Chain A
Amino acid sequence: MEGMIAIWQRDVMKFFKDRARLFGSMTMPILLLIVFGVGMGGSMESLMQNVAGGDLDFNYVAFIFPGIVSMTLLMTSVFSSLSIIQDRDFGYMREILVSPVSRVSIALGKMLGSATVAVMQGLLLFLLMPVLGVTIDLVSFFVLLPVMFLLACAFASLGLLIASVISSTQAFQLVVNAIVMPMIFLSGALFPLNNMPAWIDVLVTLNPVTYGVDLMKHIMIDVDQLSREVYVEMGLDLDFFGIPVTPLGEVLFIIGFTAVLIVLATLSFSRANR
C-alpha cells in the first residue's frame, strides 16, 4: 500500500518540478477552445436557434467546455504514462521492479499518478471560465471532481497498458496518437455526433470517452433548460445499442473499462523481466 502511494507521489512530485510541461500542455486545449468554441460557436448557435425555432439562450462554448476538459484529461493521463517508458530507459524501473512492492500496486500507483496530474491539468482550464462566460455552481463542481478523477483513471490505465507493451518513446507517441485522436473525435467532445453512419455509431457507443464527456456535460450544463430538440441535436440523448444510457450506467462502463485495462497492464508488468 505504501509502495503504491510512493509511486503515485513520485509522479505528482515530478509534475510540479516540470513547469514547462505544466504550461506547454495547456496550449492545445486553449487552441481548441478558440477554434471550436469561438470559431464554430456562431454557426452552431444560429443552427440551434433554427432548431429551437425562436429565442434561445445557448452558449456553444459552455457546451464544448466539458468536452475540452475531458480531452485534456485523456491526453494528459495517457501521455503521463510515457513516464513508464522513460523510467525504463533511465533505469529507474529496475529500482521499482526489484522492490518488494506488488505488481498490482505498481500499476495502480502509476495509474493514480497519471490521473492526479491529469485532473490538476484539467482543473487549470477552469481558470479560463470567466473569460469564456462559462459558469459552474459549487455543488456541481464537487460532483464533477470524482467524475473527472474516474475518467482520468480510465484514460491513465489505457496509457499504462500501451506503455507496458511498447518499448520506445517514438512508437508510444505514434500509437497513442493513433488511438487517442479517434477517441476524441468519436466522443462528441468537440462537436455533436448525429446521423452518423452505423459503423461509426458502433465506435461511438463503445468509446468510453463518449460517456465521460456525456457525464461531464450533464453535470456542467443545465440540460433541463434546453428544449427537447436542442437536447437531441446536441447529441445528449445517448443510447447503448438501443438501451437508454443512465449516469450510473456510464460510471459502471468507465469503471469496467478501467478494471480490465489495469488487470492487463498488471499482467504485462509481471511478465516483464526488466
Chain B
Amino acid sequence: MIEVKELRKSFKSLEAVKGSSFTVEEGEIFGFLGPNGAGKSTTINILSTMLKLTSGEVKINGYDVTKEKNKVRESIGIIFQENTLDEKLTAKENLMLHCKLYRVPKKSRKARIDEVLAIVDLTDNLNQTVEKFSGGMKRRLEIARGLLHYPKVLFLDEPSVGLDPQTRAHIWEYILKLKEKENMTMFLTTHYLDEAEISDRIAIMDHGEIIALDTPKRLKAQLGGDVIELQTTDNQAALEEINEKFSVIEATLHEEGITLKVKNSDEFVSTFMKQLETPVTGLDIRKPTLNDVFLSMTGREIRD
C-alpha cells in the first residue's frame, strides 16, 4: 500500500531524510516514531504530496507521489496535528465541503456524513458551529472528516495530542472500529508510546534514517531482559560503581536516575542490593516498554 524506496530530502545544506526505505502492507497499522527533528514530519509531508522529494521513489496505493499527485490525494486521508476545521462553519458544512473537495459521489454524501458522525458520536451536533465544540469534539470531527472519502491510507499525525486521557482512549476506540470495518491502512505518528503499541509494526526514525523496523513485541524482545529504574543519592557515582562491579546489558544515566537493562532481574537485584555502596532511594523493576526501546535506540526520550 505504501512503498518507499531510497527516499531522500534535502533542504539547502541540511539532509532531513537520508535514503530511507520501507513498505506498509494493506490493512496494517504502521507506527512511525522518532524524536522531534528526526525527519518524521518531512516524511509524512512527502508521502501526502505536500512536499517534493529530492530523490527516491514513493508509491501510495500504486500511484507515484510525484507523477500522480491527484491519484495519491484521492487515495489518502490525513488527520493533521493541528486543527484544520473551518470553525465558522457547522459540522455538516465542514463535512459537505470535504465531500466536494474529495469528489465523493453526490448520492452517497448524506449517508456518509451520517455514518462518520455516528462513528465519532457527533450525530446530535450536525448543525452546530464548530467554534462551539470542545477540543475533543473538534478532534473527533476532524477524524470523521478524514474518513469521509473512504481513504485507502489514513495518515494520523499526532492524532491525540493535547487531549485528556479519557478522550484519547475514546478516539482510539473509534479509529480501531473503523480500521476493522474498512480494512484501512494506517500510518501513525505519536508522542505517546503507549499508543504506538497498537501498531502492527513500528519504524523508529532518527537523524533522517530508519534505525529500527519491527513489531512492537520483537522490538521489545531485542532489548533482551528486564528494565530496572534506579534512583540513588548520587546517580553519577552509582553509575560508575555499577559499570565497575556488575555485568549489565546497558546502563544509562538520565535526569530521573539510572535505567539498567539486565538479563534476569530477580537474580540481579538480590546481589545488587547487597553490594552497591551508594544508597538507593528508589527501585522499580518492569518489563521493557516501547519507551525503553526508543531510549536505547535513540539515546533520548521521545519528548526531548
Partner of B73, one of A94, A99, A273, A274: A99
CB interface residues, B 34-88, toward A, < 8 Å: 45, 48-52, 70-71, 73-74, 76, 78, 80, 82-88
CA separation between A92 and B71, bound complex, in Å? 21
In the complex, whether A239 has a CB less than 8 A from a CB of chain B is: no
Partner of A13, one of B80, B83, B93, B103: B93
In the complex, whether B98 has a CB less than 8 A from a CB of chain A is: yes
CA separation between A219 and B101, bound complex, in Å? 39
Given contacts A91-B82, A102-B70, A273 and B101 within 8 Å (CB-CB): no
Q: How far is the CB of B132 from chain A (nearest CB, A)?
A: 13
In the complex, whether B249 has a CB less than 8 A from a CB of chain A is: no
In the complex, whether A241 has a CB less than 8 A from a CB of chain B is: no
Q: Mark A1-33, 1 if CB is under 8 A from B, else 0.
A: 011011100100110011000000000000000
Do the beta carbons of B88 and A6 come within 8 Å of each other?
A: no
Do the beta carbons of B86 and A92 come within 8 Å of each other?
A: yes
Do the beta carbons of A273 and B45 come within 8 Å of each other?
A: yes
Do the beta carbons of B93 and A95 come within 8 Å of each other?
A: no
In the complex, whether B100 has a CB less than 8 A from a CB of chain A is: yes
Q: Which of B49, B82, B102 has the most CB of A within 10 A?
A: B102
Do the beta carbons of A98 and B78 come within 8 Å of each other?
A: yes
CA separation between A6 and B84, bound complex, in Å? 16
CA separation between A2 and B98, bound complex, in Å? 11
Q: How far is the CB of B64 from chain A (nearest CB, A)?
A: 15
Partner of B89, one of A14, A96, A98, A273: A14
How many chain B residues touch A (CB < 8 A): the figure is 28
Do the beta carbons of B48 and A10 come within 8 Å of each other?
A: no
In the complex, whether B97 has a CB less than 8 A from a CB of chain A is: yes
Do the beta carbons of B50 and A274 come within 8 Å of each other?
A: yes
Do the beta carbons of A100 and B74 come within 8 Å of each other?
A: yes
- Indicate the size class of the contact surface on chain A: 20 to 34
Give the total number of A-B pairs whose CB atoms are below 8 A apart: 68
Do the beta carbons of A96 and B87 come within 8 Å of each other?
A: no
Do the beta carbons of B51 and A98 come within 8 Å of each other?
A: no
CA separation between A6 and B83, bound complex, in Å? 20
B89 contacts which chain A residues (CB < 8 A)?
10, 13-14, 17
CA separation between A2 and B52, bound complex, in Å? 26
CA separation between A102 and B51, bound complex, in Å? 16
Do the beta carbons of B50 and A10 come within 8 Å of each other?
A: no
Q: How far is the CB of B130 from chain A (nearest CB, A)?
A: 11
Do the beta carbons of A10 and B103 come within 8 Å of each other?
A: no
Q: Which of B45, B73, B76, B88 has the most CB of A within 10 A?
A: B88
Partner of B49, one of A13, A98, A274: A98
Q: Which of B49, B51, B101 has the most CB of A within 10 A?
A: B101
A94 nearest CB neighbor, chain B only: B84
Do the beta carbons of A91 and B84 come within 8 Å of each other?
A: yes
B96 nearest CB neighbor, chain A only: A6
Do the beta carbons of B80 and A6 come within 8 Å of each other?
A: no
In the complex, whether A90 has a CB less than 8 A from a CB of chain B is: yes
CB interface residues, A 86-107, toward B, < 8 Å: 90-92, 94-102
Given contacts A100-B73, A273-B51, A274-B50, A91 and B83 within 8 Å (CB-CB): yes
Partner of B50, one of A18, A90, A97: A97
Do the beta carbons of A92 and B85 come within 8 Å of each other?
A: yes
Do the beta carbons of A98 and B48 come within 8 Å of each other?
A: yes
Do the beta carbons of B103 and A95 come within 8 Å of each other?
A: no
B74 nearest CB neighbor, chain A only: A100
Do the beta carbons of A91 and B103 come within 8 Å of each other?
A: no
CB interface residues, A 60-100, toward B, < 8 Å: 90-92, 94-100
CA separation between A98 and B78, bound complex, in Å? 8
Do the beta carbons of B103 and A2 come within 8 Å of each other?
A: yes
A101 nearest CB neighbor, chain B only: B101
Partner of B100, one of A3, A273, A274: A3
B80 nearest CB neighbor, chain A only: A94
Partner of B88, one of A17, A97, A274: A17
CA separation between A3 and B50, bound complex, in Å? 18
CB interface residues, A 101-120, toward B, < 8 Å: 101-102
CA separation between A102 and B274, bound complex, in Å? 71
A95 nearest CB neighbor, chain B only: B84
Given contacts A17-B88, A91-B82, A92-B84, A98 and B50 within 8 Å (CB-CB): yes
List residues of B whose CB falls within 8 A of some A CB: 45, 48-52, 70-71, 73-74, 76, 78, 80, 82-89, 93, 97-98, 100-103
In the complex, 23 of the A-B residue pairs with CB atoms within 8 angstroms, ordered by the A residue number, are A2-B100, A5-B100, A13-B89, A14-B88, A90-B84, A90-B86, A92-B86, A94-B80, A94-B84, A95-B84, A96-B101, A98-B49, A98-B76, A98-B78, A99-B101, A99-B102, A100-B70, A100-B71, A100-B101, A100-B102, A273-B45, A273-B50, A274-B50
Q: Which 7 A-B pairs have the closest CB atoms?
A: A6-B100, A91-B84, A99-B101, A100-B73, A100-B70, A95-B84, A100-B74
Besides A5-B100, A94-B80, 7 new A-B residue pairs in contact (Cβ under 8 A), listed by A number: A10-B97, A17-B88, A91-B85, A94-B50, A95-B101, A99-B98, A100-B101
List residues of A whose CB falls within 8 A of some B CB: 2-3, 5-7, 10, 13-14, 17-18, 90-92, 94-102, 273-274
